[in-house]
Structure 1
């Protein structure tokens, strides 16, 4: 269905601006992806079959998840919590299993939600001989080894991606991430949070780097996942330097989205290939894929999901810089950004860490941390030193929030692993490489035994 009246630019901007909330309504959403594997062969599971992804989605419905179908295929699950907020389980293109958590008030709530999900997944997976691994990049299998899930938008993306970069198919099929979604109070608050988190996203990349292997061997990267994003599609990825320029706000981001080529439009439950076409033409009823049709707000929302900068703006801000990893780091990422974002002195202190960096610093740092992790440098400081300061700032912010679990413990404990990583100067990937060269004796398959959920 198309709109009967052309959308105005103000309506497009409002999709983002209307997300503004007073501080007492701010929440946090946590997302994470993980690789499934057959416990006998270690191969990634297909969609069909007794040990497949469809069987996982079917089995999870016993825990109150409702099915979501597309084109006759079960592709996702949804469940409301006691407050009426929805969480979902969905599939990435290669069957990576994603939890998009409900917007919650505290890190205690997020870790409870994550733990419940992983226990449900383990119960079903144990019955069909599957395991699940948290890592940033598939440690063993080639693109050709990865089964593709039956979702319409992914067919379009798989066709278009190789036209815009060499590693887009790796992004789709062989990467997993941890993300956190956070609120803002108004445009000025959004701008301050966007700038600070975009500049510091490479520091988070280093802290969470957990993907040193490609096809069974060390790749030269500590975050192969982050490296993939440097050659996926320059139109819709990266450090988007306009965020640091005077005058940045909701309208400037809307212009960026309008100038980013489309992937698709959805009509009657089917994806229409509009790859490379212009949303500006769509607004004029001149989209070649749907001549004469005008877009709806849903079309605009769909389009916003096809932008992949290191920080993404919707009706909230989405932190996108971290590799997948173990349960503890799934809880650590939202804790890191909540401590920085939701306490004004902490946000100001975090901006002080990076306010003098220029766009060349941002771009170089983004690339350097993929190989060097905490040993990279920017503006005369090591990433390790900046990471120590960043985690300490987040800890102070969480202390100031004073959100207690059972009236006893605040949220700072969720940062403990990041404090240890920053203090040691060793990323999770460095530790995996030490195991590979030592105890594992060059056998990457040990990661499935030693690090599965």
Structure 2
């Protein structure tokens, strides 16, 4: 059975309640927090194959092993599908990818400590089971048919629905891994400005962290195949929502957008009811085909918002969603980029000035270009590499001005050193993988698992 939400008893009788749900996320700057999420593939060390849920070395056993560290299991129909501890969660993605959804923390030093504690725990459990974990944007060897499916009702519904709305949705579900950071806003105006800057610069982040050049055991012609997959997953709910740049953008306009995105499911009495393709507007009017006469609750709205997949998403906070998963040392760099840009007024002003007249169509084309070309892509006569260096300079200044220091006196800007080195070289992580594949690996992809295993 699905876990009940505390909002399940709050019936929605008018659209204004949906807008107010988003508005309730506004917080003063001293309450802004950082939440980092990162996914990784689990594979058997013996043969590098994906790991199913069942079995003594399966994902179910992995989650059970993590309960020894104080994680509390969340179960559905008797299967452990997630873990919770101290405001954080470990969640199960469709093909067994494990995701840490980090707790909302004050600074990047805390976030990085959380990441490293998680690494210690999962490595210990993985070692006992004979499995490994790796951070890549796309599964490099297994075919779609070879990927296992986890026993989670939400994914059963999506599995049936995805082929109706795009050609790559099942690849997104089973063979992709990403990193994202969740950040706060103080007001509607602050949300709008951050949303526009974030959407505009998402392709720059995609290029900097591009890390998925292999499919089915060989190069796929892309640097971020994960980013390419999102261009034909389900365009009703993904991509660059152009209305964000319109004059009427706000919580109400985002609500209207969300109402037009087809539903996946609702939860009643702990069970998921398939509503795929149906309208939340009809639900609001008591005309949901799956449950005629039923009225939505705020928990239904909360669930529905999690099924929207634009490159930047808002709930009661803002999610930056555009980057591939990567090596452990790079996981703190992505939140550093966005915290530096969005949590400092001077940096945000500079980024807003840089992107002030970028159009949604241009940004959408750029996200497609960087999937293939990475930092070599061009935008208005400039290389993405040059833009990335400028944006990283904004972010470094923002982090230096935040002046949050660790026990050794370092501020948060050191977390940008790796993406700064990538931007300076113009060589994305994916291109380095391709060089190794063509060179010292002798066109054999197996060393990838050995060298990049966490």
CA contact (8 A) 1:357 1:379 kept: no
Query: Quick one: which of 63, 66, 79 aligns to 1:60?
Result: 66
- Structure 1 residue 5 displacement after superposition: 5.3
CA contact (8 A) 1:53 1:95 kept: yes
| Correspondence 1:37-116 to 2 at 5 A | 37-80=43-86, 86-116=87-117
Stretch of structure 1 that moved more, 325-334 or 168-177: 325-334
- Structure 1 residue 212 displacement after superposition: 0.1
1:53-103 per-residue CA deviation (whole Å, 9 max, x = no partner) reads: 0111000111110010011111010001xxxxx000011000000000000
| Correspondence 1:300-311 to 2 at 5 A | 300-311=301-312
The aligned residue for residue 403 of structure 1 is 404
How many Å separate the matches in 2 of 1:185 and 1:363?
A: 27
How many Å separate the matches in 2 of 1:38 and 1:345?
A: 47
1:203 aligns with 2:204: yes
- Structure 1 residue 4 displacement after superposition: 8.3
| Correspondence 1:253-332 to 2 at 5 A | 253-332=254-333
How many Å separate the matches in 2 of 1:366 and 1:258?
A: 25
How many Å separate the matches in 1 of 2:403 and 2:174?
A: 40
CA contact (8 A) 1:361 1:379 kept: no
1:193–1:429 CA distance, 2 compared to 1 (3 A): same
The aligned residue for residue 133 of structure 1 is 134
- Structure 1 residue 444 displacement after superposition: 1.1
- Structure 1 residue 356 displacement after superposition: 2.1
How many Å separate the matches in 2 of 1:178 and 1:3?
A: 33
1:156 aligns with 2:148: no
Give the match's secondary structure for 1:104.
coil
How many Å separate the matches in 2 of 1:320 and 1:271?
A: 26
How many Å separate the matches in 2 of 1:32 and 1:315?
A: 20
How many Å separate the matches in 2 of 1:449 and 1:402?
A: 38
CA contact (8 A) 1:4 1:294 kept: no
Stretch of structure 1 that moved more, 260-269 or 193-202: 260-269
Q: Give the TM-score taking structure 2 as reference length.
A: 0.97
The aligned residue for residue 177 of structure 1 is 178
Q: Give the TM-score taking structure 1 as reference length.
A: 0.98
How many Å separate the matches in 2 of 1:258 and 1:20?
A: 21
The aligned residue for residue 440 of structure 1 is 441
CA contact (8 A) 2:11 2:298 kept: no
Stretch of structure 1 that moved more, 326-335 or 410-419: 326-335
Aligned-pair Cα RMSD in Å: 1.1
1:23 aligns with 2:29: yes
CA contact (8 A) 2:10 2:298 kept: no
How many Å separate the matches in 1 of 2:21 and 2:135?
A: 33
How many Å separate the matches in 2 of 1:6 and 1:90?
A: 28
Stretch of structure 1 that moved more, 176-185 or 10-19: 10-19
How many Å separate the matches in 2 of 1:125 and 1:407?
A: 32
The aligned residue for residue 9 of structure 1 is 15
The aligned residue for residue 83 of structure 1 is none
| Correspondence 1:236-251 to 2 at 5 A | 236-251=237-252
The aligned residue for residue 353 of structure 1 is 354
Where in structure 1 are there 5+ consecutive unaligned residues?
Answer: 81-85
Where in structure 2 are there 5+ consecutive unaligned residues?
Answer: none
Give the match's secondary structure for 2:332.
helix
CA contact (8 A) 2:163 2:170 kept: yes
Give the number of aligned pairs: 448
How many Å separate the matches in 2 of 1:5 and 1:35?
A: 39
CA contact (8 A) 1:263 1:273 kept: yes
